[in-house]
């Protein structure tokens, strides 16, 4: 290929000075390609900084490179790779530094002699090795940062160096937009996941809760009772199962309406909550049947009956005569061996409850 053809870059359109410059440009291009590939895989700003600070220096073979981000009306020098310290970690007002000029003017700053250029804050450069520099904006339309190249010896930056650096800045801009997009997507996925988890939790809560009273339902009772018994496995002692049946619910429904019947059930739930502890599993099994599993039962059955009666009296004291609550109770104690047959316990307590109800009905009969 004739030198003249090689010497004009097809992509950039600018003339290349000599064979050496062409070789340097091709090497720079190769390095740029690697950086572009790396940037396309970067998932965080840290990674972008690392890729850019190294590539920016290696592409042109300069003595230092910096990565600057816009921070409102300031420029933050977030990273650098150089033969001597530059300004890493420092912030400068946007109208008082070269990166700021580049961002505000949306064009590269090409400065062969920093001490002859009024855009350069000389005081900030004096302690550094820098004699010449190129600074290009990241993102053409509304720059979000800049990339700088610095030379320790006076250097007339060539158009292909500026071109390479600007191409790196453009890829950096895309990488940063991808990261922002990725972060946004990740946040959305997280929000969706938490919303689903909340919904799952609510569905789960509803599936084990009796809607009317807020107590466990039958499914909740078996689950919680099994867990409570498993939690105290090997401790010895006894557990208690208390079966409670509401008296006269049908009559309440028939005579005073379904809402009155519901109120009766809600009042029974309140009585049970007041009579037992948080560690006890209290449930409405269905209809007018309630059940309590007390995992650790140190008291005799009569004590539970007394507690229930006391809370019932308290509740009824505030209720109109027609609304007063009456219940029948069966209490059974058992060794909490695993697996404990809860159905058997319920059946035993149910029988005891039924006997009590029958006895009371018979006693009350004329
Ligand atoms: N209001 C209301 N009534 C219900 C509900 N679930 C079941 N019932 C009614 O409760 C009544 C239960 O009737 P029974 O089993 O004869 O109970 P009872 O009327 O309390 O009679 P005893 O238990 O013998 O005192 C039925 O009429 C059911 O329709 C509910 O959620 N709300």
Instruction: For residue range 223-241, list pLDDT tens digits in order.
Output: 999 888 887 767 778 899 9
pLDDT score, position 95: 95
Q: If you average pLDDT over residues 55-59, what whole number do you get?
A: 94
Which two structure tokens, joined as six digits, stand for 177? 């937009």
How do strand 327-334 and strand 74-82 relate by DSSP bridges? unpaired
ipTM for the whole predicted complex goes beyond 0.90: yes
pLDDT score, position 139: 87
Listed as own residue / partner, the contacts of 210-213 with beta carbons closer than 8 Å and 24 or more positions apart are 210/283, 210/284, 212/262, 212/265, 212/266, 212/284, 213/265, 213/266, 213/268, 213/269, 213/284
Report the nearest-CA residue for atom 11 of ligand 1.
Answer: 250
Ligand 1 centre from 223 Cα, in Å? 25
d(CA 295, CA 221): 12
DSSP, res 338: S
Ligand 1 centre from 247 Cα, in Å? 8
List Cα–Cα distances, 258 to 216, 268, 273, in angstroms: 21, 15, 23
Q: Which of 277, 315, 271 is nearest to 290 (CA)?
A: 271
Greater confidence, 21 or 289? 289
Return the ligand 1 atom nearest residue 262 CA.
1
Checking if the pLDDT of 18 tops 80, the result is no
d(CA 341, CA 327): 25
Checking if the pLDDT of 99 tops 60, the result is yes
Are residues 64 and 80 in contact, defined by beta-carbon separation less than 8 angstroms?
yes
Q: Which residues line ligand 1 (CB under 6 A)?
A: 212, 245-251, 253, 258, 261-262, 265, 287-288
Checking if the pLDDT of 165 tops 70, the result is yes
Q: Which residue has the tokens 């070269």?
A: 98
Return the ligand 1 atom nearest residue 250 CA.
19
Length of the chain in residues, anyone? 366
pLDDT score, position 140: 82
Residue to substitute in 217, 244, 249, 269 for testing ligand 1 pocket (most ligand atoms within 8 angstroms of CB) = 249
Q: If you average pLDDT over residues 276-287, what whole number do you get?
A: 96
Report the nearest-CA residue for atom 21 of ligand 1.
Answer: 248
Checking if the pLDDT of 175 tops 60, the result is yes
pLDDT in tens, 341-359: 889 999 999 999 999 888 8
Report the nearest-CA residue for atom 16 of ligand 1.
Answer: 250
pLDDT score, position 114: 97
Ligand 1 centre from 212 Cα, in Å? 14
In which order are the strands placed within the sheet that holds 327-334?
281-286, 289-294, 239-246, 327-334
Q: 218-364 — its CATH code?
A: 3.30.70.270
Report the nearest-CA residue for atom 29 of ligand 1.
Answer: 250
pLDDT band at 10 (very low <50, low <70, confident <90, very high): very low
pLDDT score, position 17: 55
Report the nearest-CA residue for atom 13 of ligand 1.
Answer: 250
pLDDT band at 1 (very low <50, low <70, confident <90, very high): very low
Checking if the pLDDT of 5 tops 80, the result is no
Lowest mean pLDDT among 6-10, 48-52, 132-136: 6-10
Residues of the chain with CATH 3.30.450.40: 3-183
Question: Taking all residues of the chain, what is their mean pLDDT, rounded to a whole number?
Answer: 90
pLDDT score, position 25: 87
pLDDT score, position 205: 95
Q: If you average pLDDT over residues 188-213, what whole number do you get?
A: 96
Residues of the chain with CATH 3.30.70.270: 218-364
CB burial string 246-272: b at 16+ within 10 A, e below: bbbbeebbeeeeeebbebbbbbbbebb
pLDDT band at 13 (very low <50, low <70, confident <90, very high): low
Class of domain 3-183 (CATH, top level): alpha beta
Q: If you average pLDDT over residues 45-73, what whole number do you get?
A: 94
């Amino acid at each position: 290929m004739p030198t003249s053809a090689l010497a004009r870059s097809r992509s950039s359109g600018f003339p290349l000075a000599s064979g050496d410059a062409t070789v340097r440009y091709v090497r720079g291009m190769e390095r740029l390609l690697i950086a572009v590939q790396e940037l396309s895989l970067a998932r965080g700003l840290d990674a972008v900084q690392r890729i850019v600070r190294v590539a920016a220096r290696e592409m042109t073979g300069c003595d230092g490179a910096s990565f600057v981000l816009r921070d409102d009306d300031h420029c933050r020098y977030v990273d650098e790779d150089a033969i001597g310290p530059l300004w890493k970690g420092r912030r400068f007002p946007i109208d008082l530094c070269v990166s700021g000029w580049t961002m505000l003017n949306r064009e590269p700053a090409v400065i062969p002699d920093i001490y002859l250029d009024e855009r350069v804050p000389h005081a900030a450069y004096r302690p550094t090795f820098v004699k010449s520099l190129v600074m290009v904006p990241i993102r053409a339309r509304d720059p979000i940062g800049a990339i700088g190249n610095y030379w320790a010896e006076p250097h007339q930056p060539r158009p292909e160096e500026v071109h390479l650096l600007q191409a790196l800045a453009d890829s950096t801009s895309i990488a940063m937009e991808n990261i922002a997009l990725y972060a946004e997507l990740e946040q959305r996925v997280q929000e969706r996941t938490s919303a689903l988890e909340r919904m799952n939790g609510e569905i789960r809560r509803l599936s084990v809760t009796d809607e009317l009273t807020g107590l466990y339902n039958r499914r909740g009772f078996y689950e919680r009772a099994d867990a409570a018994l498993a939690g105290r496995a090997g401790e010895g002692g006894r557990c208690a199962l208390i079966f409670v049946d509401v008296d006269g619910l049908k009559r309440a429904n028939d005579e005073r309406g379904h809402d009155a019947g519901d109120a009766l059930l809600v009042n029974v739930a309140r009585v049970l909550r007041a009579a037992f502890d948080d560690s006890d599993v209290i449930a409405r099994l269905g209809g007018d049947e309630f059940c309590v599993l007390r995992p650790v039962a140190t008291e005799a059955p009569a004590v539970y009956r007394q507690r229930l009666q006391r809370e019932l009296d308290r509740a009824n004291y505030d209720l109109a005569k027609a609304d007063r609550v009456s219940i029948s109770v069966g209490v059974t104690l058992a060794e909490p061996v695993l697996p404990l047959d809860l159905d058997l316990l319920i059946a035993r307590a149910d029988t005891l409850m039924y006997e009590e109800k029958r006895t009371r009905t018979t006693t009350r009969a004329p």
